[in-house]
Amino acid sequence: MDQLGTTLRELFEKRNLSRRTFLKTCATLTAILGLAPEMLQDVVAAAERKLLVPVIWLHGHECTGCDETLLRSQTPLASDVLLNMISLEYMDVLAAAAGEPLEEHLQQVMQAYKGRYILAVEGAVPLEADGIYCMVGGKPFVENLRQAAAGAAVILEVGSCAAWGGIQAAKPNPTKSVSVSDVIHGKTIVKIPGCPPIPEVLTGVIMHYTLFGKLPPLDSVGRPKQFYGNRIHDTCYRRPFFDSGMFVEKFDDAGSKAGWCLYKMGCRAPEAYNSCGNMRWWNGLSYPVQSGAPCVACGANNFWDQDPFYERLPGIPVPQTVANADKVGLITAGVLTLGVAAHGAASLIQSKKHAAEEEEKAKEDEK
């Protein structure tokens, strides 16, 4: 709790870190926040003056994968993020304490920083049967969330579960899991989807708010533009292979070895908005496409129901099997062509018959 009421600069001083280290950190931050280099001065000024914002991190219906990724945050380092940069006041999975004292602490923090803290929510909100599918501290998660959201300045939906409902919302969604913004209304909510989201994206958003006191520009669904503004497809280093028509056909073919485009392997990058292509993971080391696996657009709404993941388009459930749209289309077109041909033949026969009858009738009339 000692970070509260301090600035980033003071923290660095307290830890005997040099001014040089402080400035380097600010330069890194400027880059992560997607700001122009000229903005460095503003970032430094803010880091010297702005007090750190307390963060409360709640866990709902999820797998803690987003925590795992946050711990692997490289720039800024996870330890830095947790201990220095954001003042993480409550996070049940990383707290040393547990049980009642920790819940007590949560209540105190919410009281002490009412209206000022950032609420990061990880996980979906199950609503079925009054929310009993996810209980935290003996209460349904949805109640905890409502209580914590009431005093939050900003709510961050961390990960695809919080942002869209996530994998537990997959058909038939037995727990009736929904996103945080389906439950909480009238609050500023930022979506940081991904399964998991890139940790630098999350810390970047928190730092942006801490330093400038406002949120970064958001897109039409509420995702920060600087991180979700581009398709992975458009930032992918394999893109030239796509444009040239050079595709991996099988995971073990020569094209795959040569690093060709994974489009035919079901890559969803053309519909995936995320920073994987430019920021990458683990300090810029790699990302799914680079490792040879097609993107599944894990930051997109409903991605979990768009299977099979290793095909370009989802299958059409035909009894006994799952067919592909082009095959169904082709067969339907074939059947239809035969159908109209048969109809045409039948029409001709009918018309001939009719003409013959007319003639007969005309003859009879003449008589």
Partner 1 sequence: MKTKPIMHGYYVFSPATRLFHWNLVICIFLLFFTGLYIGNPFFIGSSGVEPTYAVNNLLSMENIRYVHFLAGYILMASLILRLYGFITHKGDRLFPKFWTRGYWDGLIDTQLHYMFLRTKHKPYLRNSLARTGYASVYGMILLEGVTGFAMYAMIRPNGAGAQMINPVNHWLVDEYMVHVIHHYVAWMIMLFVIVHVYMVFRADVMEKGGETSGMISGRKFYEEEPVDHRDLGE
- The residues that touch partner 1, with contacts defined as CB under 8 A, are 219-221, 225, 229-231, 234, 240-247, 255, 263-264, 268, 270-271, 273, 297, 300-303, 306, 312-314, 325-326, 328-329, 332-333, 336-337, 340-341, 343-344, 346-348, 350-351, 354, 359, 362
Q: Which is nearer to partner 1, 206 or 276 (CB)?
A: 276
Q: Which is nearer to partner 1, 199 or 299 (CB)?
A: 299
Q: Which is nearer to partner 1, 150 or 341 (CB)?
A: 341
Q: Which residue has the tokens 């067969």?
A: 331
- The least CB distance from residue 219 to partner 1, in Å, is 8
Q: Which is nearer to partner 1, 117 or 304 (CB)?
A: 304
Angle, helices 40-49 vs 199-212, to 10°: value is 70
Q: Which is nearer to partner 1, 22 or 273 (CB)?
A: 273
- The least CB distance from residue 207 to partner 1, in Å, is 22
Q: Before 319, cis peptide (omega within 30)?
A: no
- The least CB distance from residue 264 to partner 1, in Å, is 6
Q: How far apart are CA 297 and CA 232, in angstroms?
A: 9
Element (H, E) at 145: helix 141-150
Between strands 321-323 and 152-158, the pairing is: unpaired
CB 146 within 8 A of CB 83: no
Q: Which residue has the tokens 């001014």?
A: 19
Q: Which is nearer to partner 1, 94 or 349 (CB)?
A: 349
- The least CB distance from residue 354 to partner 1, in Å, is 4
Residue 327 CB partners (closer than 8 Å, separation 6+): none
Integer angstrom CA distances of residue 204 from 73, 163, 177, 201, 212: 11, 17, 28, 5, 12
Q: Hey, what amino acid is at 311? A: E
- The least CB distance from residue 287 to partner 1, in Å, is 19
Measured torsion, CA atoms of residues 81, 84, 86, 89, in degrees rounded to the nearest 10: 110
- The least CB distance from residue 24 to partner 1, in Å, is 30
Going by the DSSP 8-state scheme, the letter that residue 269 receives in this structure is: G
Three-class DSSP category at 137: coil
Q: Which is nearer to partner 1, 100 or 326 (CB)?
A: 326
Q: Which is nearer to partner 1, 104 or 357 (CB)?
A: 357
- The least CB distance from residue 351 to partner 1, in Å, is 6
Between strands 189-192 and 135-136, the pairing is: unpaired
Report which of 140, 224, 222 is spatially closest to residue 177, judged by C-alpha positions: 140
- The least CB distance from residue 94 to partner 1, in Å, is 32
Q: How far apart are CA 115 and CA 14, in angstroms?
A: 28
**Residue-level length of the chain:** 367
- The least CB distance from residue 336 to partner 1, in Å, is 5
- The least CB distance from residue 70 to partner 1, in Å, is 25
Q: Which is nearer to partner 1, 111 or 220 (CB)?
A: 220
- Answer left, alpha or beta for residue 62, where phi above 0 means left and psi between -120 and 50 means alpha: beta
The neighbour count for residue 71, using CB atoms within 10 Å, is: 14
Locate 241 and state its tokens: 């292979």
Q: Which is nearer to partner 1, 54 or 266 (CB)?
A: 266
